[in-house]
Amino acid sequence: KNQVEQSPQSLIILEGKNCTLQCNYTVSPFSNLRWYKQDTGRGPVSLTIMTFSENTKSNGRYTATLDADTKQSSLHITASQLSDSASYICVVSDTGGFKTIFGAGTRLFVKA
Amino acid sequence: NAGVTQTPKFQVLKTGQSMTLQCAQDMNHNSMYWYRQDPGMGLRLIYYSASEGTTDKGEVPNGYNVSRLNKREFSLRLESAAPSQTSVYFCASRDRGLMGNVLTFGAGSRLTVL
């Protein structure tokens, strides 16, 4: 069964600290993996997209990694800011274009 | 440049009532989607439209109908609302076929069925 599992479910960190969110998937055959940020009361917004051949991609203070062999991805946030408080959703698609599976998300709280 | 616009943002219904969620995009995207988001779960696809004039069922289509009115607009209808349909609904669009490029989401519509 195609699945996307994210951990932790929620995370509290202090402003200025770094954190790493995890995503494990079983979607096959794999096409691409995306990380989205969803602010409270808003729709998800794309942060990064990675294909099979890419293992690192950065977007400002956000760096995503992908290990297609172990089917794992991580999203690293550097020097967190209060505005980083949001849910982060991992989304995996298959090559046939028939399946796009969303993880349940990690809820990040950044405290002053 | 509004992107994807959904209405209404909030709605409360009684069991058995009907309603339509409206969605419009101004990015000339071909594909449009309706998802629902429930606590502790990932977004689940209700229906999608790969292009104007076509619609297909997603993962959880029961209790819903859709209409792709034109290239811009894709509506979701609940004919007889049930408490299990209490959720946050998101419309999204994408510009290249089913898989190309990223999804652009609306702000969501929070529906409560009593």
How far is B15 from chain A, CA to nearest CA, in Å?
25
Size of interface A-B (CB pairs under 8 A): 42
Percent of chain B predicted with pLDDT > 70: 94
Q: For residues A64 and B102, what is the distance between their CA atoms, to the nearest angstrom?
A: 16
User: Rounded to 5 degrees, what angle do the CA atoms B89, B92, A55 make?
Assistant: 115
Q: What is the DSSP string of chain A?
A: ---EEEE-SEEEEETT--EEEEEEE--SSEEEEEEEEE-TTS--EEEEEEETT--EEEETTEEEEEETTTTEEEEEE-S--GGG-EEEEEEEEETTSS-EEE---EEEEEE-
Q: Rounded to whole angstroms, how far apart are CA atoms B76 and B72?
A: 14
Partner residue opposite B102 with nearest CB, options A46, A89, A98: A46
Contact A98, A1 (CB under 8 A): no
Summarize pLDDT for A59-106 with one digit per residue, the tens. Answer: 999 999 999 999 999 999 999 999 999 999 999 988 766 678 999 999
User: What tokens appear for B57 in the block?
Assistant: 């069922």
Are B83 and B63 within 8 A, CB to CB?
Answer: no
Distance in Å, alpha carbon of A110 to nearest chain B alpha carbon = 20
Cross-chain residue pair A97–B44, CB shorter than 8 Å: no
Q: Which residue has the tokens 């069964």?
A: A1
Among partner residues A93, A104, A105, which is closest to B99 by beta-carbon distance? A93
Per-residue pLDDT tens over the stretch A30-47: 888 999 999 999 999 999
